[in-house]
Amino acid sequence: MIRRLLLLACTFIATVAAYADDYSAGGKSDTPRYTFSWPLGEGALKPRGGTTQGAPVTLDKDDSAAWVALQQKSISPFERDRRAILAMSGEYRVTFDFLEVATYTDPQKRPAPYQSWGTEKVYVDGDTDSFISLVHILEMRMVGKDGTVSDPMVTKHWRQDWTYEPTHIVEYDGSARWERRKLNPKDTKGRWSQTVYQVDESPRYASLGRWEHTGSFSTWLSADTWRPLPRREWSVRDDYHALIGTNRHTVHATGWTQEENNLKAVLKPDRQLDPTRPYLAREYGMARYERLKQADFAAADRYYERTKTFWDQVRDRWSSLFATRGYAQLRGQVDQLGLFAPLFEQADAIAENDSATSSSASVIDSALREMGAL
């Protein structure tokens, strides 16, 4: 069971596809998905990514209560920002689409677009006025060749922390290094930082942006942000070292979207851009979070409730590290090296036994030491 959950976490749902019941009665559509691709006449590329059929789900097409609250007229700009962030919580079908839209080299073979699907619940893990934490938990049910639906497979996914007018930020610096940078108050006025953490609470990327609100949507756009390669890239590419781009979150009546506009950057050993060939390509990405109704996330709820304290301890240990040292230089990408495995094994043991264990602190320190953080 533990190994199955670890496999699901490690592959970042790369082989999971969950289809909505309004696409077809059986939960699977034979209609090819449209891909924003290369010019006509150059041939279509078959997308890589999710292939497994998921159990049918039902989309909620009514305006959500969170959207209605976000549209109230008499609230302050700060409160409207808060409600936009909180509106990202809930139960969703998620689709991931990524495509290189421009190349700056002459590749022998154009990279295939990436497409995958999943179902997950986003929990409000913390809310203290100017700080909101949202944690994503995947719960998957697959349909077998004989039509039977599997038991739920549950694992922690990612976390996003939002801070109003932050005093500092932890940024990716290339080559598995993150640094804590103090911010100038004039640069943070009216702005929120978003910090994204990987499955094991290790840092991934962070940036500042300002929320804007309309009657159609609320949107937040980051500054240019460095981030390490995700699994969908390092599993098939080794010719570049970092993504540099913007991240946009847009909340609307029935869900939200996350858009990425990334440059694929080549770095020198000193983590600086290679001046002779700094960028290989530009990539667009879109993740669509479509709200579900009558969805069963009971297994995810149990996992979240039973492991919350443990994962809080892991996050606090990372925060303490950056507060005292100011940086973390890891051995390599945590997910690529599988260094998160001891943490997931501990979380799974806690989830199954419904109790914390006295060894959690030593397991956390041992895992961070193996990563190179301690």
pLDDT recorded at residue 88: 98
Q: Is 279 helix (H, G, I), strand (E, B) or coil?
A: strand
C-alpha separations of 75 from 71, 80, 82, 124 in Å: 9, 6, 11, 21
**In the structure, what pLDDT confidence band is assigned to residue 23 with cuts at 50, 70 and 90?**
very low
The residues pairing with 207 across neighbouring beta strands, listed in sequence order, are 194
Per-residue burial over 55-75, b = 16 or more CB atoms within 10 Å of its CB, e = otherwise: bbbebbeeebebbeebbeeee
pLDDT tens digits for range 277-317: 999 999 999 999 999 999 999 999 999 999 999 999 999 99
* CB of 174 closer than 8 Å to CB of 288: no
What percent of the chain lies above the pLDDT cut of 70?
Answer: 86
CA gyration radius, the chain: 21
The span from the CA of 88 to the CA of 111, in Å, is 31
Q: Which residue has the higher pLDDT, 312 or 335?
A: 312
Distances (CA, A) of 237 to 231, 279, 315, 325: 10, 14, 30, 32
Which residues are within 8 A (CB) of 116 and not within 5 positions of it... i.e. 6 or more apart? 13, 14, 16, 17, 49, 50, 95, 96, 232
Strand partners, 284: 99, 261
Q: What is the mean pLDDT of the chain?
A: 87
Instruction: Say yes or no to pLDDT of 4 above 80.
Output: no
| pLDDT tens readout for residues 110-148 | 788 888 889 999 999 999 999 999 999 999 888 888 889
How much is the pLDDT for 187?
A: 96
Q: What is the pLDDT of residues 103-118, one digit of tens each?
A: 898 766 778 888 888 9
Please choose, from the candidates 80, 160, 148, 82, the residue with its C-alpha nearest in 3D space to the C-alpha of residue 120. Answer: 160
The neighbour count for residue 346, using CB atoms within 10 Å, is 24
pTM recorded for the entire structure:
0.90
Residue with tokens 């497409």: 115
Is the CA virtual torsion 178, 179, 182, 187 positive or negative?
A: negative
